[in-house]
Structure 1
C-alpha cells in the first residue's frame, strides 16, 4: 500500500484506483487523500516506517477538516440569511426560531425553574381579581387606539388622540354627522354607536375608516355609554363628548372649545344652545356677550338655591325634571339629550351614576353636581362655541313621542333610588 497527499488540479486526470478513497472535510480545500495498491513496490518492501507515515497523514488531514469546520460553524450566525438563496418562508421560520432561542437562553421566567420557585404574591391594593399578580405586570386601564398586526408595538401610533367624541347615529343623519366630525381635529378620536345596525355604508367617508364603530340595534346613547365607555377603557382621553346626531355645528370648533373648558376649569360642560324652537332652560341658552357662564336667572319660584340647578351651572344635558316633564306634555314640546362633555375625572363618577336599566337617563342632569366640587364653579356652558339643536320628527309627531311615558317612569325611579341610597348611607353612619 502507498499513500499520496497531492494538491488536486482544477481538472483532475482520470486515475485508476482499486483502493479505498477517504472523504474528509479536507476535500473543501481540494485535497485528495487516496489509499491504493502500489504496483511499483513489492509487498515485502512495505515496512513499519511507511505505515506510520500513512497514518500521520490521515491524522493531519482529519485535524485540518475539524479545524476548518469549526471556523465555518463559528462564522455562520453572522451570515445574513437574505443573501442565501432560500425560500422566504424558510428564512422567516429560521429568524423566528433563532430569536426565540436567544430570548429563551437570555431571559427566563421564574416558571422555568418549577412551581416551587414561583413567589407567593398577594397585593390587596391591586385591582379586584389581580391580587395574586405582581403590581409591575398589572394593566388596569385600556384605550381605543387602533393598532397594527405587525411591527414593533411601540411604533404603532404616530399620534395619540387626546379626546374622545361619541355620536349615537342612524344612517339617515350621515351628512350631519360628517359635518360634525369635520369640526374636530386629529386630536379627537371618533366613536359611532349605530342604533340602526348599518355600519358599512359609512365607509364612504374617509374619517370613518379610522373611527370606532359599535353596532347594537335600537338602543339609547346612555345604554351604549354604560357598556362601552367604562372609565378604565377611556382613561387615556382628557375629555369625553357624548353627543346626539342632530346638532348644528356651524358655529362650533372642537379645539377652541377645549381651550375654553381648560381656561375656565370646567369639569362638566356643554356648548351654548341657540334656541330656534321649543322650550330651553335659561341656563343652557347661549349668551352673546361672554365666553362661558355658570349661573342664570330662571322663572320665579323655579330656584330654591342660586347655586343649584336649574339656576346654577347645570347644563341641560339629559332631560328636564319630572315637574317640567308635565309642562312639556301640556305644551307638546320635547327636548332630548344633547351634548354633554365630561372631564376624565368627572366621567369616572358619572359612569357609576348611570343605571343599567334606566336607558334614557332622565334625572341624571339634576344629580351630576354630586360628581364635582364645587359644582357651581366646575359646571358651565360655553357660549362662544355654540350649537343648534335641530331636532327630528316623524310624520308630524314630536321626537320620541312613543317612549315619553317610559322616560317619565325612569325619572321617578331614578329619583327614588337616589333618595333611598342617601337615606341608607345616612342611617349606616348615624347621621340625621
Structure 2
C-alpha cells in the first residue's frame, strides 16, 4: 500500500511538470508570433490589440503606426476646416465671414406686407424719394406739395413736432413713411435716416423744407429736365418776386435750366465758383444717387442747420459748374415761414427764432472753417502748396 502511494505522487508530479512545460512553450510561441507579424496582420487574425500591447516590443510598434495615422488625420481635418472657413474681404466691413450670396449691401424704404409671398409684395418699385421735414401747422401746405409727386415717389416725412396721427386724414399718408423726433432739422434726420445704402434704389432724392409753394411745379417734368441737362445736384428756380437772396437761384423765364449767373461786384472772384456757379440753396435740393452718397459723408458732424453746406456741395461732382444747376421751367415759391425757428428757446432777452438764427450763422462759420482746415491738412500731407486754393479748384 505504501509503494502504491509513492507511485501515485510521482505520477502527479510528472503531470504538473508537463503542464508547466506546455504553458512555457505556449508563452514562447506567442511571443515569437507577436514579434514576427505586423499589427495589421494581427488584426486580420483577430488578435486583439489589448493582448499585443502586453508585450513591450509589440506595443512600441503599434504606437508608432497609430501616431502616424493620428497625425495624418489631424492634418486632413485641420486643412478641411481651414478650407471651410468663410472670409470674403470684398464683403462690407463686419460681414467678411458671410458667403457673398447672402450679403445684401443695400436696403430700401419699400413697405412690405405681413402676409402672402414676399415676391408679390411690390406691384411696382418707386424710382425716386422725396422727404419733407414738417410740423402739423403746415400739413395743408405739405398736402399740396405731396400731390405734385406721382406714385413713382416714396414719401418720407420727418416730424419735428412729434405729431404724426394728425396726418391720417390724408389718403397718401397711409403709404408714406413717418419718422418723429422733437425739434430736429432735416439734416439731423438726413444723417440718420438717409444712409446712401438705404436710399440706393432711388435715382434722385429730394430733401425739401415745408414752406414751399408748388403751384408751378411738376415732379415728373422736373426729373425729365434734370436728366436732359445732366444735373447731379439741382433745385427748382425760385420766384424772383418772393424774397430770394442769391441771383443764382432766381428763376429765369427764358430757359429750361441755368448753371451760372452774375452776382454783386467782388462776390465771385472765379465765375466757376459759388455763388456764381456750382451753387444751389439748401431749402429744396435734389441729389442724384451718386451725388448724395458724397454729400451724406460731408454732413457727418455735430452741425444741424446746414448753413454753409450749399457752398461746399460742389466738392461732390465734377465739373461742378456744369452738373449743379437751377431748373427754371419748374419753379417754386419760398414762403419763408419761421415754423422751425419757433421751436427754439427764448434766452437772454431774445425771441426763440433769434436764438435759432444765431446758431445757424455760427454753424456756417464752423462748417466753412472745418472744410478749409481739412483741405489744407490734406494738401500739406501731399506736399502741395494750398495758399491759393482757388486755382486748385479751377483746375479740377
TM-score, length-scaled by structure 2: 0.72
1: CA distance, partners of 2:377 / 2:361: 25
What is the aligned partner in structure 2 of residue 276 from structure 1? 241
2: CA distance, partners of 1:277 / 1:211: 30
2: CA distance, partners of 1:196 / 1:124: 44
Runs of 4+ in structure 1 deviating by more than 6 angstroms, as ranges, are: 394-399
Which of 263, 274, 285 is 1:298 aligned to? 263
* Structure 2 gap ranges (5+): 1-79, 343-349, 386-396
What is the aligned partner in structure 1 of residue 119 from structure 2? 154
1:230 aligns with 2:175: no
1:407 aligns with 2:360: yes
What is the aligned partner in structure 1 of residue 102 from structure 2? 137
CA contact (8 A) 2:244 2:250 kept: no
Structure 1 residues 363-382: aligned runs within 5 Å? 363-382=308-327
* Structure 1 gap ranges (5+): 1-114, 318-337
SS at match of 1:342: strand
Instruction: Sort the Cα spacing of 1:153 and 1:261 in 2 relative to 1 into closer, same or farther, 3 A.
Output: same
1:266 aligns with 2:235: no
Shift of 1:279: 4.2
What is the aligned partner in structure 2 of residue 221 from structure 1? 186
Structure 1 residues 54-133: aligned runs within 5 Å? 119-133=84-98
CA contact (8 A) 2:249 2:280 kept: yes
Shift of 1:207: 0.2
RMSD (Å) for aligned C-alpha atoms = 2.0
1:187 aligns with 2:140: no
2: CA distance, partners of 1:267 / 1:146: 27
Say how many residue pairs are matched: 298
Structure 1 residues 169-184: aligned runs within 5 Å? 169-184=134-149
TM-score, length-scaled by structure 1: 0.66
Structure 1 residues 409-428: aligned runs within 5 Å? 409-428=362-381
What is the aligned partner in structure 2 of residue 310 from structure 1? 275
Shift of 1:429: 2.1
1: CA distance, partners of 2:284 / 2:86: 46
What's the CA shift string for 1:277-328, capped at 9, x where partnerless? 43421100000000000101111111111111111141122xxxxxxxxxxx
CA contact (8 A) 1:249 1:388 kept: yes
Shift of 1:130: 0.9
CA contact (8 A) 1:313 1:381 kept: no
2: CA distance, partners of 1:398 / 1:302: 32
Shift of 1:250: 0.2
Q: Identify the range of structure 1 (231-240 vs 413-422) with the bigger mean alpha-carbon deviation.
A: 413-422
Shift of 1:401: 2.7
CA contact (8 A) 2:160 2:180 kept: yes
Q: Which has the larger radius of gyration?
A: 2
Which of 302, 322, 328 is 1:357 aligned to? 302
What's the CA shift string for 1:231-256, capped at 9, x where partnerless? 00100100000000010000000000
2: CA distance, partners of 1:409 / 1:175: 32
CA contact (8 A) 1:393 1:399 kept: no
What's the CA shift string for 1:354-407, capped at 9, x where partnerless? 033100011111111000000011000000000000111479999933311111
Shift of 1:225: 0.5
1:210 aligns with 2:175: yes
